[in-house]
Amino acid sequence: MVKSQNKAKPGMSEVEEAVRTLLLWIGENPQREGLLKTPARVAKAYGELFSGYNQSADEILGTVFEEVAGYNEPVLIRDIGFFSHCEHHMVPIIGKAHIAYMPDGKVVGLSKIPRIVDMFARRLQTQEAMTAQIADTLQDHLQPKGVAVLIEAEHLCMAMRGVQKQGSSTVTTAFRGAYARDEKAQANFMLSLRGQR
C-alpha cells in the first residue's frame, strides 16, 4: 500500500469543498441544480478510480499453486484492459496490458494478474513506471524464471490537450529474469502478441 506523505488524510467534506472550488474556478455555479451533488459524486468516483492505493500485492498474490504437473512453459495473459490517470494532468490513460511469466514450480490464479494490473493502474501513474512496477512485483512475489510485460495505451493528456493527437498510442515493455537475458524468449513473447491487438 502506498502511504501518503501528508499526516492527515482530508475528510469527505474537504474533498467536496475542493471540487466546489474547482467548479468556481472554471466559471461554473456549484449551486445550480445539475451541480448540487457533483462534489459528492466526484469524491465517490475518485475513491473508485484511485482504489489501487488501498490494495497490496501481498494480498493479491498471497496464494500460489505448486501442483503444476510439470508445466514449465510461459503463461501469457493478453489484452488486459485497464484505465489509469496521468500523474501530470490527472487525465485518463486507457490501454491494454500483455503479461507473460515463466513458472518455476508454481503458478498463480489467472485472475491475479489482471488484479495486479488494476492495482497499479488505479493510481496516478506514468506508463513507464506502471510497466516496471507490474514486472518487478510479479518477479518479486512469484519468483518465476522470468516476466515480460508490454503495455499499449492512449494518453488523453495528449489527445485532449497539448498536442491534441487523438488515436496515437504509447508502447512500453519490461523484461525480467530469463526474458531480460534471452532475446529468443523476448521474440517469442512479441510474436505471440502479433496480430492480436
Give the CATH number of the domain where residue 150 resides.
3.30.1130.10
Confidence at 66, pLDDT banded by 50, 70, 90: confident
The response to whether 141 counts as a known ligand-binding position is no
Same domain, 150 and 114: yes
Q: Cell match 498474490: residue? A: 61
Q: Is 86 annotated as a binding residue?
A: yes
Average pLDDT over residues 65-93: 92
Q: Evaluate whether residue 56 is within a structural domain.
A: no
Span 131-149, average pLDDT: 97
Active site residue 141: no
Mean pLDDT of 92-108: 95
Residue with the larger pLDDT of the pair 136 and 2: 136
Question: Does residue 170 sit within a domain?
Answer: yes
Where residue 177 falls (left for φ over 0; alpha for ψ -120 to 50; beta otherwise) is left
pLDDT confidence band for 72 (50 / 70 / 90): confident
Could you say which of 14, 59, 87, 128 is catalytic?
Answer: 87
Concerning whether 89 is annotated as a catalytic residue, the answer is: yes
More reliable by pLDDT, 196 or 173? 173
Indicate whether 111 and 160 sit together in one domain.
yes
Burial of 75 (0-12, 13-18, 19+ CB in 10 A): middle
Residue range 34-43: average pLDDT?
96
User: What is the per-residue pLDDT for 5?
Assistant: 62
Same domain, 70 and 41: no
Give residue 165's pLDDT: 75
